[in-house]
Amino acid sequence: MTAIALTERQRRRSLAAIISAGFGAGMSMASLLPLLSLLMERHGYDAGLIGLNAAMFPVSVLLFGSLAPLVVRRLGALRTLWLSAIGFTLVTPLYYLTDPWSWYGWRFVAGFLGAIGWMTSEAWLNMVARPESRGRVMAVYTTVIAAGMTIGPFIISAIGIEGFWPFLFIMGATALTALPLLFARGLSPDFSRQMPLQPWRALAHAPTVLIGSVAAGAVDMAIMSLLPVWGVAEGFSQNDAARLISVFAAGSLLMQWPVGWLADHWSQRGTIMICSTVTGAGALLLPLLAGQPVLLWPMIFVWGGVVFGVYTAALALLGDRFPAHELAGANALFIMAYQVGSLGGPPVAGVTMDRFGAMGLPVMIATISAAYLLFSLARRAMMRG
């Protein structure tokens, strides 16, 4: 897909506005999850009910994500992003004002509001970015979101969970999402012809992209949920087990630019395959390096970069595989596919660890990575044949 017609200065302003908005979105989304979980735990809710509350976001995306192209077609991209930001801001104080049983409904509504902003932003970037730099644009975008997701929970830990202050912070972070949009007026792509895509048609057209999104969601969420559990099972202290996630997140934050550069200068498909290969290899190295911290910590850092790199490179490939008038629908399906993986990955990894012990997590991740790599190679051979 070619980029829309803008001057180079307009193109940069348009991209900068949407990418900058991702910082506030990352902060607010990543702050709300631990805040609600901790508050529900304090109110005496068990882990199952807390997990069910967290699942309301992806469930909302899966049920109503296909409506996003219709919303953006009706309202336009900029108004859709405003709706997402303002709506999310207005829902946030309702958690403070109502009892935790009501939070399931608010999380469901917030899931849809967040999803339409997420889908519109990524479709916007794909439509505005030039094909030769699309990988790096997506790398900067995912890096900025990852930075917000890293900083948000840290600020919540500093503020604490008492009173209205943490909710006020999340409202402020969401408002920060809206501010850059003021500089995007007149620079929005035309979404007036966007229509939802039939999932099976999109899957037949770009299976490597959509199945890659499922695999990325499963592996990302399995690692974020259970890597500390693996660490404790391998004899790490609780503090060191928690640091595994910090180092993993640092790698995902700092290594997206090299991934995007490789996608632009070599091959988007090839970059996805390399990231998938290293993801599987890193999983198999986990038990071998558990007793060698000098090697383990750098490996976890690189691992974080390549695991998240699958999403970055696949998002860039999405922009090449679909024409402009189908990008909103394609991006909706891409994010819905990611949520399918996010919902399935942690429980599958948990069951595997129950069956095989600490080895269960690396085995599950390596299996998914190998299966996706074999599928990608088979698909590539079919296309050449």
pLDDT per residue as tens, the chain (385 positions):
545 678 889 999 999 999 999 999 999 988 898 898 889 888 888 867 887 888 888 899 998 888 888 899 899 999 999 999 999 999 999 999 999 999 999 999 999 999 999 999 999 999 999 999 999 999 999 999 989 988 888 888 888 888 999 999 999 999 889 899 999 988 988 888 777 678 888 888 889 999 999 999 999 988 988 888 898 889 988 788 878 888 898 898 899 999 999 999 999 999 999 999 999 999 999 999 998 989 999 999 999 999 999 999 999 999 888 988 888 889 989 999 999 998 888 888 888 888 888 899 999 999 999 999 999 998 888 877 6
Per-residue exposure over 20-55, b if at least 16 CB sit within 10 Å of its own CB, e if not:
bbbbbbbbbbbbbbbbbbbbbeeeebeeebbeebbb
What are the residue ranges spanned by the domains of the chain?
8-181, 200-384
Q: What is the pTM of this model?
A: 0.88
Name every residue whose Cβ is closer than 8 Å to that of residue 262 and which is 6 or more positions away in sequence: 135, 270, 271, 274, 313
Instruction: Please give the span between the terminal C-alpha atoms of the chain, in angstroms, as a whole number.
Output: 24
* pLDDT at residue number 4: 61
Q: Is the Cβ–Cβ distance between 130 and 3 less than 8 Å?
A: yes
Q: Which fold has domain 200-384?
A: Growth Hormone; Chain: A; (1.20.1250)
* pLDDT at residue number 326: 87
Q: Give the CATH number of domain 8-181; options: 3.30.1330.90, 1.20.1250.20, 3.10.20.90, 2.30.110.10.
A: 1.20.1250.20
Answer yes or no: same fold for 8-181 and 200-384. yes
SS3 153: helix
* pLDDT at residue number 16: 96
Q: Residue 144: phi, psi to the nearest 5? A: -65, -40
Q: Which helix (H) or strand (E) holds 250?
A: helix 238-254
Q: Residue 152: phi, psi to the nearest 5? A: -55, -55
Q: Is the Cβ–Cβ distance between 197 and 317 less than 8 Å?
A: no
* pLDDT at residue number 369: 96
What does the DSSP assignment read for 265-333? HT-HHHHHHHHHHHHHHHHHHHHHHTT-HHHHHHHHHHHHHHHHHHHHHHHHHHHHHS-GGGHHHHHHH
